Amino acid sequence: MHHPLEAYTARRPNLAGVLDAMRHRGRYAKKTRNISYGPGGRSHLLDIWRRPDLPEGYRAPVLIHVPGGGWSVNDKRGQGYPLMTRMSELGWICVSVNYSRSPRNAFPAHIIDVKRAIAWVRANIAEYGGDPDFIAITGGSAGGHLSSLAALTAGDPTLQPGFEAADTSVQAAAPYYGVYDLTNTDNMHPLMMPLLEHVVVQRRLADHPELYRDASPLHRIHRNAPPFFVLHGESDAVIPSSQARAFTAALRKSGPRTVSYAELPNAHHAFDTIATLRCQLAAEAVASFLGIVYGRHLAAGKRTRRVAVSSAS
């Protein structure tokens, strides 16, 4: 199946490759950096990546990127650039978000912020040329955990305090090397649980098992979950690939949806941090997946909200 934006992107300028991804933030987000989506100062800032030459009247599908960093050193700068570069080239609008860090903030502050960002995007992205009816989400490591959890908990009022009525659904998810089960101590790095108990959740698993279960994407899967493409490195020593395989299997078992899985041979944790051919190919695979899901969305006539292009900034 062709990417639904292929006719336009075939005419795109000859942009530099993925190795120049760091320069692309300046190209695509020069005038749309550090936009506030909430009251949390630097923790509630986002960058919007968009091609400056998007045609008049165009409504671009949206990809939100949630950075990783152990829920404690996350920053929207420097992460996800290869994928966001490729998606921007394809005519998508990408939104990279900051969120509250630990240990200053304990879980669930992180996921609340991610959902607040989704709500902001849905309410405001049309002003930047985005389609609020199609929002996908991605992220690596802690960002893989949070993006998956967000995709599976749309409308959960316990994770949306003060904005319970906001639409925080997403239409697709593509998590990279995430942690999907916070309750399985046998299936994670030995230092992961101490990090969770003392820094991130700041509660012991033995004393608060339901908190850890509710924070685990594996245990929030339901029949109406959106399409997923899960990517993981075969040699990941931080989060074993068995976590991703178990998560993918549970998604496939829970209901009829598109669920894809890619386990990259010899790839380690954070395999997309440094731009490589493998990183570029992974981005191409995600672009193809998202293009297929978006194409089905358009074919089903699910785009319902339209905003006049004159309102775009």
Which active-site residues does the annotation give?
141, 236, 269
Nearest to 84 by CA among 55, 110, 117, 50: 50
Closest CA to 245 of 156, 184, 162: 184
Q: Is the Cβ–Cβ distance between 83 and 66 less than 8 Å?
A: no
Beta bridge partners of 97: 46
For residues 52-65, b (16+ Cβ closer than 10 Å) or e, as one string?
eebeeebbbbbbbb
The number of angstroms, rounded, from the C-alpha of 284 to the middle of its chain's C-alpha atoms is 16
- The backbone torsions φ and ψ at residue 4, rounded to the nearest 5 degrees and listed phi first, read -65, -15
Q: In this structure, what token pair is assigned to residue 73?
A: 């050193």
Q: Which residues contact 81 (CB under 8 A, 6 or more apart)?
A: 21, 22, 24, 25, 275
